[in-house]
Amino acid sequence: MVVLGLLLLVLSGALTLGVVLSNTDPVSASAFGVTLSNVSLGGLFLAGAAAGLVFMLGLVLLFMGAARKRARRVATKRHVHSIHSEKEQLAEENAELRAQLTDPYPPSESPTTPVNRP
């Protein structure tokens, strides 16, 4: 996969270089009310490629931010779940300790009944 990616990068670089070097005729271009004159077709192509790269960078940042937010949300849910389970465990332990306080002699430790001797 890495080799294929590198091959595509090299081929796109060669294509860009070919387009820029073979198209040197001056043209005028206008966008958003701004006119540029005497711009070569290769330069115009490079400007378009740069705009595409900026767009891709924006998409990458958008997806990375969404992934980070999702990871943070999952971690928060896990933390809340662990707090709830710890709270339940402590409530059960508290109930057991309360029961021990009300009954000082649990069934296993109850004193033997006194024997009446004549």
- CA–chain centroid gap for 117, Å, is 79
Structure tokens at 55: 């767009």
117 domain-assigned: no
Taking 50 as the pLDDT cut, the residues of the chain under it are: none
118 domain-assigned: no
Residue ranges of E strands in the chain? 26-31, 34-40
pLDDT of residue 70: 94
pLDDT of residue 118: 60
Structure tokens at 79: 């933390």
Q: Are 45 and 29 within 8 A, CB to CB?
A: no
From CA 25, how far away is CA 44, in angstroms rounded?
A: 11
29 φ/ψ angles, rounded to the nearest 5 degrees: -130, 145
37 domain-assigned: yes
pLDDT of residue 73: 95
25 domain-assigned: yes
pLDDT of residue 33: 86
Structure tokens at 20: 């820029």
pLDDT of residue 108: 63
109 domain-assigned: no
Range of the domain at 20: 2-101
Q: What radius of gyration do the chain's Cα atoms show?
A: 38
11 domain-assigned: yes
Structure tokens at 2: 């890495």
Domain count within the chain: 1
Residue keyed to tokens 């969404």: 66
From CA 102, how far away is CA 94, in angstroms rounded?
A: 12
